[in-house]
């Protein structure tokens, strides 16, 4: 049943290897206990949860999440199969609180990137373009580093993300300013080999694809240069540029008096999420965002009273 379930999930084109590994732990647990039942019971699920109690809460949640998915699949054919309740997420005090950059801090980071050594090399422009792209599109750092030259379509003002999370591909529509910045970078990038269509878009000094350690090390140096405090516990991580994109996008919609509820699915799709729930994690309430929400609610409240004739 586990094998059938995994084959079904992979038919969507998603990379289910991580979840399959978690299910193998559950399979090994059942095999080691020699249960006589032909279906999953509540006792099995509770015993398995007890056996992984030593793991971190989020890790326990991940393991039980895939077990729950499996049980829901089996229950379609066998209603005797027990479906465990989802585990409660750790409290907000236990979760990392993303750092939301200000517009001024973003500008400072981009300016600092242009001063990176060695002078006259592609490196300063590479990091300025990379960080700017992360901020203005909200793509993941792994997606940005996986971009090839033929993934940028300047005439259509689009980027093609071929290697997104869970191997999901998608199109990223670019604003004119972002497209222009990428075009400037590409003009300099094409002067350096390799420059075949399938060559990496962002390269290091050895003309190879950027890697996480070097990017992260450079990023930390830029934070220090800009006077932005950083620690392992409190960040800001490079992934927080993605959080900042989501919050600033939401803020812009509120200021434009757009229908935010109608646009949230658009934001979710643009960011490569499977559903809005995943996007909500990124929508951290900042002081500016709270002010805009309060302003909109106040205006709606006043208009409602005027419509009822309660105000003159």
Residues taking part in catalysis: 140, 165, 239, 242, 273, 282
Q: d(Cα 124, Cα 109) in Å, to the nearest integer?
A: 11
Q: d(Cα 151, Cα 200) in Å, to the nearest integer?
A: 9
Q: In this structure, are residues 97 and 244 in contact, taking their beta carbons and an 8 Å threshold?
A: no
Find, among 3, 296, 14, 36, the residue nearest to 169 by Cα: 14
Tokens of 279: 């996007």
CA torsion sign for 170, 259, 241, 165 is negative
Q: d(Cα 232, Cα 276) in Å, to the nearest integer?
A: 29
Alpha-carbon 233 to chain mean position? 19
Q: d(Cα 205, Cα 215) in Å, to the nearest integer?
A: 12
Is the preceding peptide bond at 118 cis, omega within 30 degrees of 0?
Answer: yes
Query: Cα separations (Å) of 127 from 117, 132, 144, 182, 216?
Result: 11, 8, 11, 12, 11
Q: d(Cα 5, Cα 75) in Å, to the nearest integer?
A: 12
């Amino acid at each position: 049943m586990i094998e059938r379930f995994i084959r079904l999930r992979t038919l969507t084109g998603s990379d289910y290897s991580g979840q399959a590994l978690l299910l193998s732990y559950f399979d090994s647990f059942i095999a080691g206990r020699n249960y006589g039942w032909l279906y999953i019971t509540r006792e099995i699920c509770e015993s398995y949860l007890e056996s992984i109690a030593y793991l971190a809460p989020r890790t326990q949640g991940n393991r039980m999440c895939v077990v729950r998915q499996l049980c829901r699949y089996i229950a379609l054919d066998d209603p005797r199969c027990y479906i465990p309740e989802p585990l409660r997420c750790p409290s907000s005090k236990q979760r990392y609180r993303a750092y939301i950059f200000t517009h001024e801090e973003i500008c400072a980071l981009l300016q600092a990137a242009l001063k990176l050594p060695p002078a006259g090399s592609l490196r300063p422009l590479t990091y300025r373009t990379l960080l700017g792209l992360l901020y203005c599109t909200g793509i993941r750092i792994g997606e940005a580093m996986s971009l090839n030259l033929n993934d940028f379509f300047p005439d259509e003002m689009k980027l093609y993300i071929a290697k997104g999370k869970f191997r999901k591909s998608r199109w990223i529509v670019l604003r004119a300013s972002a497209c222009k910045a990428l075009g400037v970078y590409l003009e300099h990038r094409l002067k350096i080999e390799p420059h075949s269509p399938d060559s990496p878009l962002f390269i290091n000094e050895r003309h190879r694809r950027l890697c996480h350690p070097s990017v992260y090390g450079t990023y930390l140096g830029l934070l220090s240069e800009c006077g932005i405090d950083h620690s392992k516990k409190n960040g800001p991580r490079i992934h927080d540029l993605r959080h900042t994109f989501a919050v600033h996008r939401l803020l812009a919609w509120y200021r434009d008096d757009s229908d935010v509820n109608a646009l949230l699915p658009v934001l979710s799709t643009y960011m490569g999420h499977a559903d809005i729930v995943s996007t909500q994690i990124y929508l951290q309430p900042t002081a500016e965002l709270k002010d805009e929400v309060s302003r909109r609610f106040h205006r709606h409240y006043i208009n409602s009273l005027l419509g009822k004739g309660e105000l003159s």
